[in-house]
A and B are shown apart, each in its own frame.
Chain A
Amino acid sequence: MSAAGNTPGACDPPALRLSGITAGYERRSPVLRDVSLTVRKGEAVGLLGPSGCGKSTLARVAALLHRPWAGTVHLAGQPARGWRYRAPRAQRTFAGVVFQQPRTAADPRLTLHALIAEPLRATGRAVEATDRVGRLADAVGLGPELLTRRPHEVSDGQLQRACVARALVLDPGLLVCDEMTAMLDASTTAALVTVVEDYRARTGAALLAVGHDRTLLERWCDRTVEAAGLGAPDERSRTPRARETTPAGTPASGT
């Protein structure tokens, strides 16, 4: 990409700007209504909310995986010009995504090596695979033997490590982590957050971390925002639970 300044400041366009996003799946019952959110270059933003509040949908919109009904998405100052496979390659690969469930986000036929290299192959850069996959596998703590296995031969934690490596393989300028650690134990969680933060410190990439664990996101991110405060989900939304369990203050978590 173009020469990037290292100061995450006002002069640079924000890594992500969502304005007036309304999105959903069923007609007349939008999950998100008129939501706006900006993530500056190099900034880490945590998006908090109970399950069913639409925060994953917002993450999918930010990664150009779900086309909103209204509103605009700007990635690094450029308006999004398409969605899913129709997005221009530079925009499509600008965001690296890590999903909650590594099992459903990984092709069971691929070895972990092929899984991590897949984005390179898909963008015609397969020749770089050996070198880049090796380095990333080291970073996420996967040994050479594990890279030869397929998803059913590794644990959830190991598979999620591969998914994080896959998200980083194209050097994204924005990372979208949707409940990246919800399935994982405390140690693997801390390890993967460290991997993401090391990458961000090296490259100045921005982060949108979606989750319901306030303690985690407040520790991890520069700032956190409540999904509920961005634009209320529809009253007739098919997830009424999201409203009734939204705590007024901090949910009383463990400690």
Chain B
Amino acid sequence: MNQAQTTTAPGPKTATEPGPAPSAEPLLSVTGLTVRFRMRAGRQVAAVTDVSFGLAPGECLALVGESGCGKSVLASALLGLLPGNARTDGSALLHARGGQPRLDLLTADEPTLARTVRGRRVGLVPQSPAGHLTPVRTVRAQLTETVRELRGLRGPELAAATVAAAERAAFPADHLDRYPHELSGGLAQRAATALALVGDAPVLLADEPTTGLDRALVDRTVDELRGHTADGRGLLIITHDLAAAERIADRVAVMYAGRLVELAPAARFFGTPGPRHPYARGLLEALPERAFTPIPGMPPELDALPAGCAFAPRCPRADERCATRPEPDDGLACHHPLVPAGTASEETHA
């Protein structure tokens, strides 16, 4: 409500700490991740460009940005689910943990991804649970199949584990024999979360898990997701819902036109001194509880990005320096940051 107030962020996170430092052995390190799509007539779409971040155990990182900025492509890249015309560069290292070897998600072959990664080392909480669940089978049938495949259980053990798996995602046991269309949006989301949790994957990837849910359900869903980081999982939540990100994230990564423009601790980002990148500031100021003014213009097309800073055409602070692209430095890629950080923003190279 009051921007002069210091942040009293709701939710289960501890606001005192700026989030776990990525110095502790991270679960996932993404370095220079780049995704290009080859299209007809030699067109090339730069969906993701030079994205780097780490995800530590117990950490929640929120990736925010306007629709069409490349967020979901990033998620698909981490699961090896990109279409055939995609070309990737950089690396996304899933670190060795629990007897599993270190693995680069971008170069791993399909059998490895299918048998050892999806569901087992990276769990996906999908955008639309209604589309993710099979409509012609009950939740119990789908959960049982997942438990059998991922944990190798049979018989009564399997039945018990299925009920336990539903319980972990707070899915009510008396709804297990329902079909997906008989579930409310919130329960369908829990069913999908239950499936994502079965394999005990250390990394949870939630791609717009709250689209179309009302505020009370959004809060409950993200709180539940956040709760699953308590035992050392890392949660990467991709969302355009800034309120949800503020509620649960330790760190916030802002994506614009395929690049990370700012990566900051959530407390600083949503509180004082606030975002440093003009785009991030504009996105926050567009919220109805703040200025409610849109950023002028629209994001550039990803197949025709300007040579310099992609945000410059919409930026109130842009000048001739913005014709050269700012290199990311100290979690920020901008020539004219709003809050001058400890480091001078003069140097263009990190």
Contact = CB atoms under 8 A, between A and B. Distances in A.
Contact of A155 (B67, B217, B243, B297): B67
A179 B287 CA distance: 16
A52 to B, nearest CB: 7
22 contacts: A51-B185, A51-B213, A51-B217, A155-B67, A157-B68, A184-B240, A185-B65, A185-B240, A185-B286, A186-B242, A186-B286, A189-B288, A190-B293, A215-B288, A239-B184, A245-B217, A251-B216, A252-B219, A254-B289, A255-B1, A255-B246, A255-B289
Interface string B208-233: 00011111110100000000000000
Nearest to B182: A238
A254 B244 contact: yes
Contacts of A126: none
Interface string A176-217: 000100111111111101100000000000000000111110
Contact of A245 (B67, B216, B246, B297): B216
B186 interface: yes
B200 interface: no
B247 interface: yes
Nearest to B186: A241
Contacts of B246: 254-255
A185 to B, nearest CB: 4
B4 to A, nearest CB: 13
B318 interface: no
B66 interface: yes
B66 A194 contact: no
B283 interface: yes
B288 A219 contact: yes
- Band of interface residues on B: 35 or more
Q: In terms of DSSP, what is the predominant structure of the interface of chain B?
A: loop
A220 interface: yes
Contacts of A186: 240, 242, 283-284, 286-287
A185 B289 contact: no
B240 A182 contact: no
Given A157-B67, A186-B284, A212-B215, A254 B294 contact: no
When A and B form their complex, which 3 residue pairs have the shortest distance between CB atoms, in order from nearest? A254-B243, A155-B68, A191-B294
Given A51-B213, A251-B215, A254-B244, A184 B186 contact: no
Given A51-B185, A188-B66, A193-B292, A253 B243 contact: yes
Nearest to B246: A254
Contacts, number: 110
A158 interface: yes
A187 B283 contact: yes
A93 interface: no
A59 to B, nearest CB: 15
- Band of interface residues on A: 35 or more
B242 A183 contact: no
A141 interface: yes
A234 interface: no
Nearest to A192: B294
A9 interface: no
A199 to B, nearest CB: 15
A159 B170 CA distance: 36
A100 interface: yes
B286 A189 contact: yes
Interface in B280-313: 282-284, 286-289, 292-295, 297-298
A187 B294 CA distance: 5
Nearest to B66: A185
A157 B240 CA distance: 12
B213 A253 contact: no
Contacts of B187: 241
A254 B247 contact: yes
Contacts of B243: 253-255
Given A185-B66, A254-B244, A254-B247, A158 B219 contact: no
Interface string A53-84: 00000000000000000000000000000000
B284 A252 contact: no
B10 interface: yes
A251 B219 CA distance: 9
B214 A50 contact: yes
Given A157-B66, A253-B243, A254-B246, A188 B294 contact: yes
B288 A183 contact: no
Contacts of B68: 155-158
Contacts of B219: 251-253
A213 B184 CA distance: 19
A215 B295 CA distance: 19
B294 A190 contact: yes
A241 B10 CA distance: 24
B308 to A, nearest CB: 20
Interface string A131-146: 0000000000100000
Given A245-B217, A253-B215, A255-B246, A190 B292 contact: yes
Given A188-B67, A254-B289, 17 more contacts: A50-B216, A141-B298, A157-B66, A157-B298, A182-B212, A184-B67, A185-B240, A185-B283, A186-B284, A186-B287, A188-B66, A189-B288, A191-B286, A213-B288, A245-B214, A251-B219, A255-B289
A108 interface: no
B327 to A, nearest CB: 25
B217 A187 contact: no
Contacts of B297: 141
A183 B211 contact: yes
Nearest to A241: B184
